[in-house]
Amino acid sequence: MKFQRIQTTFNIFNGQEKMLEKWYFEGKKQEIWKESINNYRMYIIFINTNRRAQVFQSGEYLNNQSKGYWKFIFEDDEIGGGYYNEYGLKSGKSLYQQSKQLKLIKAKAKSLMKVNTKMAF
């Protein structure tokens, strides 16, 4: 079986489209992936402008397991990351760059509306 490439295009909050490529081999994730962070929606809120955008994670899969260093990306800038061990499990704590202008909000999808309402979006 050959590698299968899947392209996904979707709209981000400010109307920009992003093209993400994903690779599978025999139904298992392979190679470098860039994808939106799952399980939790992670957003960066610009405190002065009330503008928001989604954060992505980028890293390598080998036989459906995360491998090595994965970085968190916002507007093509790396804002942090974390490591996965040889078993595909997170190793240590994820690191985020500190910034006075940015505030990271991590909320489950159900509570996102509540958070945004409080932040006057």
Using CA atoms of 116, 51, 79, 92 in order, give the dihedral in degrees to the nearest 10: 0
Tell me: the pLDDT tens digits for 19-62?
566 777 777 877 777 776 654 445 555 555 555 566 778 888 88
pLDDT band (50, 70, 90) for residue 100: very low
Q: Which two tokens stand for residue 75?
A: 């507007």
Enter the pTM of the model: 0.57
pLDDT band (50, 70, 90) for residue 68: very high
Q: Which two tokens stand for residue 82?
A: 């974390």
Task: Locate the domains of the chain by residue range.
Answer: 3-118
Cα separations in angstroms, 35 against 47, 55, 83, 120: 25, 9, 16, 28
What is the Cα–Cα distance from 100 to 88, expressed in whole angstroms?
A: 33
Q: Nearest to residue 44, comparing CAs of 116, 108, 121, 103?
A: 103
